[in-house]
Chain A
Amino acid sequence: MNRLRHTVVALAGLLFANSALAGVLPEDRSDVMYHLYEGGGVRIDGPSILMRKQVGNSMSFVTNYYIDTISSASIDVITTASPYDEERTQWSLGMDYLRGNTTMSVGYTTSTESDFDAKTYSLAVSQDMFGDLTTLTLSYALGDDTVGRSDDPLFEREADRQQYGVGITQILTRNLIATLNYQAVTDEGFLNNPYRTVRYADAAVPRGFSYEPELYPNTRTSNALGLRMKYFLPYRAAVEAEYRYFTDTWDIEGHTAKLGYVHPMGPFTFHLKYRYHDQTGAHFFSDLFPRAQATNFRGRDKELSPLTSHTLGISGSWEFIEQPEGWKFFKRGSLNVSYDFLSVDYHEFSDISAGQPLGEEPLYKLEADVIQIFFSFWY
């Protein structure tokens, strides 16, 4: 099981929210992608295939097949366990139904790993109004997770997730469009990773600390509010800016900002972006607890530590089948390559792999390369 499991509900909502263009069905399109993440001793790669096809005048179906092949020797793994290989397979199926200016979407996603299963059901309604200047989207998703342990076939815990979303997309001027999204997620059940441990000071052992299992609260509610704007420049190019505020009942508060620039040049389109994220830590996070069972809840998951991350990304696409000529039954076709460099500074999570004396360990820093290569076809 990897930590990516937490994202299944959010992504299920995203898949269908993205397609929720009220008043018009999404374009028929297929994408075949290879993705690679490599950094911090972890390598995750695999395919993602997305297909969308309209049936009749009012219905559109979408399916996504996605695989993560994981080879992990991360900082958590090398300090407390053994490197492992794992595979996660995810299937999504969705349908959009258009009636007048209203689009209704339903979706189902299933994600399977050897020790973790997640099922998500999602529903969204979008309505165009005010002369099609405004699109309102309401969404709901229900997630049902089953957590296991690879070393204990009898271990089985449940977690339920519910996601509520409201989004408004607004045309502000003939060059400017904005979208405001609010998303609330509630979790209930077994929310921690069954393999992870925390460390506590222990004078009885030479290294000065020992480990015990993590113990998270069994509820969590989070709220996220994001504003995104895109502006068409005086020449044919666009700039985009985004800000997201996040807060939850575990006392994590986050600020995320992103800037992007899109520049077409003949059959090529280039995209540059920078993203910044800063967050406080969960109230039960500690790099080193003073003793065993020192608090009711405890965690040392580095993602729950105060941290700052930076991402610098560049991508290029080449449209090798162009409109209006097309080719065979394809209207358009493109090859896309993107590279993102992700850097994360953890402010309270120590790198204990170097074996420094207790209290002198450096803070951990993660650097990762994220590569995507995909073909897109419109038909």
Chain B
Amino acid sequence: MKSFGKILLVLAVAAGAAGCSNFEPWVKPYERDRLADPIMALDMDPVSSSYIMHVYEAREGARGGEGAAGGGCGCN
């Protein structure tokens, strides 16, 4: 798990640095109307996706890594 800790540290530093930057997004907030459409939600129905993931994980040897991990269209 040591390498995982290093990854976390790098990501945390990147996240912190991002907060201080004057980054110009290449997709402007007013260009995100399609991404804000409910049909573009990465997880349209959480109650359904967690259930079907439950079905797969019970019947296969693999687990994790599927589905949406959060995020959004930045439309707020």
A-side residues, CB < 8 A to B, are: 2-4, 6-7, 10-11, 13-15, 17-24, 31, 33, 35, 37, 48, 50, 64, 101, 124, 126-139, 163-171, 173-175, 177, 179, 181-186, 222, 224-226, 228, 230, 232, 236-238, 242, 244-246, 248, 250, 252, 254, 256, 258, 262, 264, 269, 271, 275, 277, 279, 281-282, 303-304, 307, 309, 311, 315, 336, 338, 340, 342, 344, 366, 368, 370, 372, 374, 376
Q: Which of B41-76 contact A (CB under 8 A)?
A: 42-76
Give the number of residue pairs across the A-B interface with Cβ within 8 Å: 267
Cβ 8 A contact of A166, one of B11, B61, B66: B11
Contacts A11-B53, A282-B61 known; A264 to B68 CB distance under 8 Å? no
B70 near A126 (CB under 8 angstroms)?
A: yes
Cα distance A254–B65 in the bound complex, in angstroms: 11
Could you tell me the distance in whole angstroms from the C-beta of A166 to the nearest C-beta in chain B? 7
**Residue on B nearest A139 in the bound complex, by CB:** B69
A279 near B62 (CB under 8 angstroms)?
A: yes
Contacts A17-B69, A131-B74 known; A370 to B63 CB distance under 8 Å? no
A179 near B71 (CB under 8 angstroms)?
A: yes
B59 near A344 (CB under 8 angstroms)?
A: yes
Cα distance A169–B1 in the bound complex, in angstroms: 23
Cβ 8 A contact of A167, one of B29, B61, B71: B71
Task: Give chain A residues whose Cβ lies under 8 Å from the Cβ of B53.
Answer: 7, 10-11, 14
Binary contact readout B12-38 vs A (1 if CB under 8 angstroms, 0 otherwise): 101100110101111101011011010
B-side residues, CB < 8 A to A, are: 1, 4, 7-8, 11-12, 14-15, 18-19, 21, 23-27, 29, 31-32, 34-35, 37, 39-40, 42-76
Task: Give chain B residues whose Cβ lies under 8 Å from the Cβ of A232.
Answer: 34-35, 37, 39-40
B65 near A131 (CB under 8 angstroms)?
A: no
Task: Give chain A residues whose Cβ lies under 8 Å from the Cβ of B71.
Answer: 20-22, 126, 135, 137, 167-170, 177, 179
B27 near A173 (CB under 8 angstroms)?
A: yes
B49 near A18 (CB under 8 angstroms)?
A: yes
Cα distance A63–B73 in the bound complex, in angstroms: 24
Could you tell me the distance in whole angstroms from the C-beta of A196 to the nearest C-beta in chain B? 14
A184 near B42 (CB under 8 angstroms)?
A: no
Cα distance A127–B15 in the bound complex, in angstroms: 7
Most interface-central of A2, A244, A258, A368 (chain B CB within 10 A): A244
**Residue on B nearest A128 in the bound complex, by CB:** B74
A224 near B55 (CB under 8 angstroms)?
A: no
Task: Give chain B residues whose Cβ lies under 8 Å from the Cβ of A18.
Answer: 43, 46, 49-50, 67-68, 70
B68 near A179 (CB under 8 angstroms)?
A: yes
Most interface-central of B59, B68, B70, B75 (chain A CB within 10 A): B70
Given contact pairs A33-B48, A171-B73, A181-B67, enumerate 19 new A-B contacts (beta carbons under 8 Å): A10-B63, A17-B68, A18-B43, A21-B71, A22-B70, A22-B71, A23-B76, A48-B47, A50-B46, A137-B69, A137-B70, A139-B69, A174-B27, A177-B42, A185-B63, A237-B39, A246-B64, A246-B65, A256-B66
Could you tell me the distance in whole angstroms from the C-beta of A315 to the nearest C-beta in chain B? 8
Task: Give chain A residues whose Cβ lies under 8 Å from the Cβ of B1.
Answer: 164, 184, 186
